[in-house]
Structure 1
Amino acid sequence: MASRYQSEGNVQAMPSKLVYVDLKTTGFKKDAQACQIGSCCEDEEFTCYTCPTIEFELQATYKTYFYSNEGVLYQEGRILETLPMSEAWERFLRFLEEKCGGNVTLVMHRDAYHLPIIKRHLKELGLLEKFSVICKGVIDTLQLFRKEYPQIKEEGRGYELDELLSIIGLEETKPSELDALVAAKNLKELVDHEISQGNIDSYVLNNYFKSLTYIQEAENAKEDAKILKTEMPSLSKETAEKLVGAGISYYLLLSTYNEAGESGIRSLLSEEVNGQVRVTKSSMVIRKNIYDLQNRIKTEVSSPLEEQ
């Protein structure tokens, strides 16, 4: 990979300590559970196994060789020593707090997959608030390498962790797919190598940092957009998210339509704020908004008569 940052002046300290994390899980669905947590920070390492309460997906077992039976966790036929789910995650938080300094940024390869599982487990165990104090945010190295190194895709290669290691000439001791701690250590080795070569620095890493607050707000916005779509079915997902992002609720649209009619809706959606169109100037999109509002008003007006 060609060097992008050679000057020592570009190297700055990250505001919090980088902790590399990987999970092995039951699969790829939204209810997936962790069966192994692996993490490393500087010279410190952490790993533990826990037996999930749901079945492994066949695709996950095919990739990682993990499976469970009657409360026992196996990998390639070998029985693994496990901890109860609560103890496993409590130990992980203690590792972050005591061994990593308690002010950390989690570095993960594909945070959109790992972070929701981590947060769901911690929320179920009443540990999410403590985690939010310890962890300041996350960096997704998959997004980093995709955007900073587009030539990898152009060369017909992929961005899976082990393939990235092979591209830069680092031979992994064990496939990352089979062990969460190995994956975390491989990821750290990859990032450390790229930093040492001047290919990335803390400025680049900071560009891919997302605070937990930002992530939560984004999740809330998606939920609000889903609610808005139930009120206004003809909206596209993209338009619903734009409306929520602009602070426009269904009730604001409805009150605007009641007070100013179609012209009020057009003005609300197409006005420019700081040089940017608030939502859209598309006549078709605006018309869909008005159509939904008209139908909702008809429904609300007709409902009392139907009850009589």
Structure 2
Amino acid sequence: MNEKGLVVAVDAGWQKRGSGKTYDSLSGHCSMVGPLSGKVLSYSVRSKNCRVCSVAETTNKNPAAHECSKNWEGSSKAMEADMVIEMVEDLQKSEGITIDGIIGDEDTTTIARLKTNVNANIKKLSDKNHLKKLFTNSLFTLKKEHSSLTLSVIKYIQKCFSYSIAQGKGNALQIQEDLSSIPYHIFGDHEHCSARWCKFIDNPNLRYKSLPHGKPLKDRFLQDDLKEVFSSYASHSDRLSCLGSTQSNESFNRMVSAKAPKTHHYSSSSSLRYRVAACVAQKNEGHRYLIKVNKKLGLSPGYYTRRQCILRDLQRKRQKAISMTQKFKRRRRELKAKRIQSLSTKETREGVSYLTGCDLHHASDIDEIPAPKTIPKYDHLPSSQLLNAEEIYFDLETTGLARDSHIVQLSAVRNDEVFNKYIIPKKPMTSKATEITGIQVVNNKMYHNHEEVETVSIKDALIQFMDFMKMSGPDVVLVGHNSKVFDLPVLFNILSKLNILETFSSAVTGFIDTIPLFKMSHPNLSSYSQLHLFAEILQDKYSAHDSLQDVIALKRLVDHTGPSHEVKVAASFTLNSAVAVFHHKNTTKHLMSTLGPLLDQKVISNGMGNKIAGSGLSLSHLQLAYQRNGREGVQDVLSEIADNSVRVTKSKKNH
């Protein structure tokens, strides 16, 4: 190699993970990679232990002649600087290569030691990924003191920082100016901004897409701290204008962790050196290095070894080509954002489950916020089942139009058989209901059109109705007009209170609502009320709002129009799905009642309240989310993704 003045990337790895407070690995390795070629130019290994020497010392004997693996007496932290100095000096002596620049992270004093011991003119280039990580850590440190510095705000500031660095590559003055203006930009002051990137200069009325409510931040104490952070980075703009990357070194470290996992101890023998050397060969030559090693040792590689090596290299080449595309990078960022969002949401819902000392300080915080509920939908009856089912027409008259109204008349028709029962309700009828139906209750007696009628209890009426249906066999389909919206919710509500909903389910297979049926068979009518349909189709009238007359009229309508089997299937729905919808609506109604304080103070609209309650959340769940993670906790819960849809809303102005 005759190249002079190389810029290389260096990074070290250790065979034991640091705890953040203690770094005491017995061994470490370091690689020097050419950033253009991606090849390892040199490597070094340090070890503080030798098994042979340790055994001899324990037995008070002199060690036998051996290749000692111990070559380091200092601390684990000092290994990296020493290995880099060794590699730079070796390249200069053995190959005549001068290193003019080192790309590395900000975690060591390597560059200072190189300037002192090797070359005073050597330059330091920062690793862009490590630099962004340091910047992000400084923001999260500020987050502890400023509640307005939420995760979404941090992401926006990160984006501004990264954009300034990328656009100012090679221009230190531009980077300095752009970084200095960011603490003003996010607070609505655009005098320091450049028209190159700030759209607010030409259009001051724009909204901030990534800031809360689309408005600039207002916390001036936060602004002062951000100015200090950005000022420190702007002062090193010359270094930020020529960033490098140690990604190839990180890739090499992953290879070493696979061949020398941190759960095993290899540094007391030459095994670690051989494993690191194998990783260097794999990094530079690919998996084909195994073929060359076999040949060098006089071992002809077998067919399967050769095939596997070639296959692995082809797979790696293909993966690398795919990973360089914009589509792949964009998809990777999207998946990462989804994982982070999902993790944050689950941790908010679950509460503290694993944390140092949490059993002492958070033991009582074990209440879980429920996962998103799947909103049930009406399922159509299977065509074959509907074909063989017995159709029974039914209708109710009630004390009012509310879904918790009581039934006062229950009627049904099967062929020529009629079922009709009057029931004295336990709540008074509304005046409007009495006027429409002609039914009134006086002194515990019921009158229909001023004539007294015989009554039964609601439970007896329903049991007799079920007996009437069971006479038709196992497959019964109830046909009603607007039954999905009104009759069934009223009926299910009473069955549920009497604890006989399950018994009722054994007598019925499903339902047909004739409103969607007539909309399909007779489109574009001005009204689909039963009275209007009867007059329009049969050119006749009948005594409406008497449930017996209603079901007789409905049967006449359906028999006359003769809707196709396909139309009936499309207008049908199963009993199980109808019951599921009923229970979901009841639960939503209960949860909605807990949101009263938010609705009364107009914090949320009725529509938003229905969405929140429909997803299974109550006011106490929202309060718990806020208690655990502030506004971000509420936002995480409301915007959780389930079954490819948002739980409540993505809009941040609603959080």
On whether the aligned pair clears a TM of 0.5, the verdict is yes
Q: 1:162 aligns with which of 531, 536, 539?
A: 531
The count of corresponding residues between Structure 1 and Structure 2 is 268
Deviation (angstroms), 1:199: 9.1
Letter in 2 for 1:266: Q
Q: 1:93 aligns with which of 442, 453, 466?
A: 466
Equivalent pair of 1:21/1:108 in contact (CA under 8 Å): yes
Q: 2:590 aligns with which of 213, 219, 223?
A: 223
Equivalent pair of 1:12/1:201 in contact (CA under 8 Å): no
Equivalent pair of 1:26/1:54 in contact (CA under 8 Å): yes
Q: 1:38 aligns with which of 388, 411, 427?
A: 411
Equivalent pair of 2:395/2:480 in contact (CA under 8 Å): yes
Distance 2:610 2:520 in 1: 24
CA deviation map 1:191-246 (0-9, x unaligned) = 3444x25496233123697522332223222322332x146442323223323444
Q: 1:250 to 1:57 in 2, by over 3 A?
A: closer
Equivalent pair of 1:12/1:202 in contact (CA under 8 Å): no
1:152 is paired with a residue whose SS is: coil
Q: 2:605 aligns with which of 227, 233, 236?
A: 236
Deviation (angstroms), 1:166: 1.8
1:106 to 2:478 alignment: yes
1:215 is paired with a residue whose SS is: helix
Equivalent pair of 2:639/2:647 in contact (CA under 8 Å): yes
**Structure 1 residues without counterparts, runs of 5 or longer:** 1-9, 287-308
Equivalent pair of 1:136/1:212 in contact (CA under 8 Å): no
Letter in 2 for 1:70: N
Q: Aligned residue for 1:183?
A: 550
1:262 to 2:631 alignment: yes
2:411 is paired with a residue whose SS is: strand
What RMSD in Å do the two structures reach over aligned CA positions? 3.4
Q: 1:276 aligns with which of 633, 645, 650?
A: 645
Deviation (angstroms), 1:284: 2.5
2:525 is paired with a residue whose SS is: helix
Q: 1:78 aligns with which of 451, 473, 480?
A: 451
The higher relative CO (CA closer than 8 Å, separation ≥ 6) is in 1
Deviation (angstroms), 1:22: 0.8
Equivalent pair of 1:103/1:135 in contact (CA under 8 Å): yes
Q: 1:85 to 1:273 in 2, by over 3 A?
A: closer
Deviation (angstroms), 1:150: 5.7
Deviation (angstroms), 1:55: 4.1
| Aligned pairs for 1:21-60 within 5 A | 21-29=394-402, 32-60=405-433
Deviation (angstroms), 1:43: 4.2
Q: Which has the larger radius of gyration?
A: 2
Q: Aligned residue for 1:205?
A: 571
CA deviation map 1:271-291 (0-9, x unaligned) = 5545433321223211xxxxx
CA deviation map 1:139-170 (0-9, x unaligned) = 433355468766123xxxx2221211222226
**Structure 2 residues without counterparts, runs of 5 or longer:** 1-381
Letter in 2 for 1:100: S
Equivalent pair of 1:33/1:52 in contact (CA under 8 Å): yes
Distance 2:578 2:403 in 1: 22
Q: Aligned residue for 1:61?
A: 434
1:182 is paired with a residue whose SS is: helix
Distance 1:133 1:231 in 2: 41
Equivalent pair of 2:395/2:410 in contact (CA under 8 Å): yes
Moved more, 276-285 or 135-144: 135-144
2:571 is paired with a residue whose SS is: helix
Distance 1:64 1:103 in 2: 32
Distance 2:549 2:480 in 1: 13
Equivalent pair of 1:225/1:244 in contact (CA under 8 Å): yes
Distance 2:447 2:383 in 1: 44
CA deviation map 1:78-136 (0-9, x unaligned) = 22233344432221121122x23254333222333323432344345443331133234
Distance 2:623 2:427 in 1: 44
TM-score (norm 2): 0.36
Q: 1:197 to 1:123 in 2, by over 3 A?
A: closer
Distance 1:276 1:31 in 2: 32
